[in-house]
């Protein structure tokens, strides 16, 4: 294959998504590497190169127990039965006693004990839900999330994201196929329920994950986007990756109906400061009370004491979370949508003109005799299966079990050993990168260090002057 010039690449691929462009570059680089000994480094994917092995061991060992339960019910060689509830906890304890050397068995027992002792679960009810779920022989029910698993995941989100039932009241969780699925479902339901219309004004905090810049401009949405830029510069002429008050004041405009934010940010990987959160809270409570906020908090677990906007603005915020980065499970597709029962989304639906509400009532008429009473989060669930297929909605039950095991594994880790390991990996790698570039690191409690963003032009200006910066702009 002939060499392709930079200009040719721009002409051919300049308008496609950076992720698709990245795939093409990898293809070209791979072809080139066949003729050389160079190492190809793919920095175009965000998943870590570690995994949480212990909760996985517990998961697969529990799967073996589940198979023994199915054979206990009905054993005909390759064909076995569905797990029975009665006495299942006692049989589980026997299994643990007889399999002390199975991988992850101690963690598995600790996870089950946590549910029974800390959350007061009925022993047989809890064990049967998990066993039937890991076998995957039934549709998810409730479709939003299995009962005991949701309670465990809620505890995880309260601990790691600081979701607050004291100030916000009870919240519900919808288990989904990662944060990307969550965002797709939310966008679609906002449109389906007329909470956002084509051409409406929304705000996005930047820098941000590139697809979040692309989605609003799709023909289905065509939103007018107001960018809230992280423009703050510190006394050392360095980016803090925080938004100035001037930028945040843009949210005062009541024409802005929704705010989309990744917190900590992607790619700078810096959480919104408490000062900025206080400013956002003040703006929402005094100037834009009906602002709908969608906060993707996937990187929050890499910061001690992280607080989601869901904690400070529970009425206005949908919390989105993905297990992918923290546990190394991008292939599993595990995520959550969380919404407090008292929320602005349900309020705005009730305030829509009757002619519009009548149309949405028809949409959800098969779900409830009084379709107006279907809460927004359950509408998201139904919309994820085009409403008519709502009876088959929900994340696959084995995925939900793995999600519960990751959550409980964290909750029983009182010393935060796993958390400290992942944070130390990120901090160490960032230091190695910055040291190699001879760049100082400003210690920052809001820095997740999972990614980083380097302003090359600002760095080059400091070291080599404005003339070199202009040369780079003109040629690269």
Res 36 pLDDT > 80: no
Res 2 pLDDT > 70: no
Asked if 293 contacts 261 with a C-beta cutoff of 8 angstroms, the reply is: yes
Work out the percent of the chain whose per-residue pLDDT is above 70. Answer: 91
| CATH number for region 160-395 | 3.40.640.10
Prediction pTM value: 0.92
Residues 6+ positions from 363 with CB-CB distance below 8 Å: 192, 371, 387
Greatest CA span in the chain, whole angstroms?
79
| pLDDT tens digit sequence for 307-345 | 999 999 999 999 999 999 999 999 999 999 999 999 999
At residue 379, the pLDDT reads 98
Pick from 410, 405, 397, 375: nearest CA to 140? 397
Rounded to whole angstroms, the Cα distance separating 409 from 58 reads: 10
Average confidence (pLDDT) over 94-99? 98
Rounded to whole angstroms, the Cα distance separating 409 from 114 reads: 10
At residue 135, the pLDDT reads 98
At residue 25, the pLDDT reads 64
| pLDDT tens digit sequence for 362-372 | 999 999 999 99
Res 4 pLDDT > 60: no
The dihedrals phi and psi of 335, each to the nearest 5 degrees, come to -155, 175
At residue 243, the pLDDT reads 98
- Average pLDDT of the chain, as a whole number: 93
- Alpha helices (runs of H) in 265-395, residue ranges in sequence order: 274-286, 309-312, 324-327, 344-350, 354-363, 376-383
DSSP 144: S
Rounded to whole angstroms, the Cα distance separating 260 from 122 reads: 40
| pLDDT tens digit sequence for 102-140 | 999 999 999 999 999 999 999 999 999 999 999 999 999
Average confidence (pLDDT) over 23-38? 60
| CATH number for region 53-138 | 1.10.20.110
Res 7 pLDDT > 70: no
At residue 211, the pLDDT reads 86
Residues of each domain in the chain carrying CATH 1.10.20.110: 53-138
pLDDT-based confidence at residue 209 (cuts at 50, 70, 90): confident
Looking at per-residue pLDDT, the higher value among 14 and 306 belongs to: 306
Rounded to whole angstroms, the Cα distance separating 41 from 57 reads: 30
At residue 244, the pLDDT reads 98
Residues of each domain in the chain carrying CATH 3.40.640.10: 160-395
Place of tokens 């607050």: 164
Place of tokens 């054993």: 75
DSSP 447: B
| pLDDT tens digit sequence for 215-249 | 999 999 999 999 999 999 998 888 999 999 999 99
pLDDT-based confidence at residue 34 (cuts at 50, 70, 90): low
């Amino acid at each position: 294959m002939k060499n392709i010039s930079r200009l040719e690449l721009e002409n051919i691929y300049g308008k496609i998504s950076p992720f698709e462009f990245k795939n093409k570059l990898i293809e070209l680089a791979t072809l080139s590497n066949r003729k050389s000994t160079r190492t190809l480094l793919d920095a175009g994917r965000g998943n870590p190169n570690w995994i949480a092995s212990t909760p996985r061991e517990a998961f697969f060992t529990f799967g073996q127990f589940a198979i023994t339960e199915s054979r206990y019910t009905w054993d005909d060689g390759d064909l076995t039965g569905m797990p029975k509830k009665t006495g299942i906890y006692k049989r589980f304890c026997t299994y643990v006693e007889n399999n002390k050397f199975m991988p992850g068995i101690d963690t598995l027992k600790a996870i089950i004990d946590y549910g029974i002792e800390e959350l007061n679960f009925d022993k047989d009810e809890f064990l049967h839900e998990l066993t039937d779920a890991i076998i995957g022989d039934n549709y998810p029910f409730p479709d939003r999330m299995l009962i005991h698993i949701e309670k465990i995941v809620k505890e995880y989100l309260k601990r790691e994201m600081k979701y607050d039932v004291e100030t916000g009241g009870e919240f519900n969780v919808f288990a989904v196929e990662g944060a990307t699925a969550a965002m797709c479902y939310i966008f679609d339901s906002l449109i389906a329920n007329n909470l956002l219309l084509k051409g409406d004004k929304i705000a996005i905090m930047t820098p941000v994950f590139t697809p979040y810049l692309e989605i609003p401009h799709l023909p289905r949405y065509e939103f007018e986007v107001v960018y809230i830029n992280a423009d703050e510069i510190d006394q050392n002429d360095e980016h803090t990756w925080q938004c100035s008050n001037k930028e945040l004041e843009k949210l005062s405009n009541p024409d802005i109906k929704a705010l989309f934010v990744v917190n900590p940010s992607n790619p700078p990987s810096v959480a919104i400061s408490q000062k900025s959160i206080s400013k956002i809270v003040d703006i929402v409570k005094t100037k834009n009370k009906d602002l709908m906020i969608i906060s993707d908090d996937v990187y929050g677990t890499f910061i001690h004491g992280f607080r989601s906007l869901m904690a400070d603005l529970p009425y206005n915020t949908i919390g989105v979370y993905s297990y992918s980065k923290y546990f190394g499970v991008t292939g599993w597709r595990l995520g959550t949508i969380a919404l407090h029962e008292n929320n602005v989304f349900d309020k705005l639906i009730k305030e829509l003109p009757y002619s519009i509400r009548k149309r949405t009532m028809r949409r959800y008429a098969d779900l409830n005799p009084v379709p107006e009473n279907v809460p927004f989060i359950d509408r998201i669930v139904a919309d994820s299966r085009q409403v008519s297929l709502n009876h088959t909605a929900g994340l696959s039950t084995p995925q939900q079990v793995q999600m519960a095991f990751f959550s409980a594994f964290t909750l029983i880790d009182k010393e935060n050993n796993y958390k400290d390991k992942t944070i130390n990996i990120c901090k160490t790698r960032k230091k190695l990168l910055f040291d190699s570039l001879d760049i100082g690191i400003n210690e920052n409690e809001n820095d997740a260090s999972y990614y980083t963003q380097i302003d090359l032009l600002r760095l080059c200006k400091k070291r080599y002057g404005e003339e070199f910066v202009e040369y780079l702009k003109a040629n690269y």
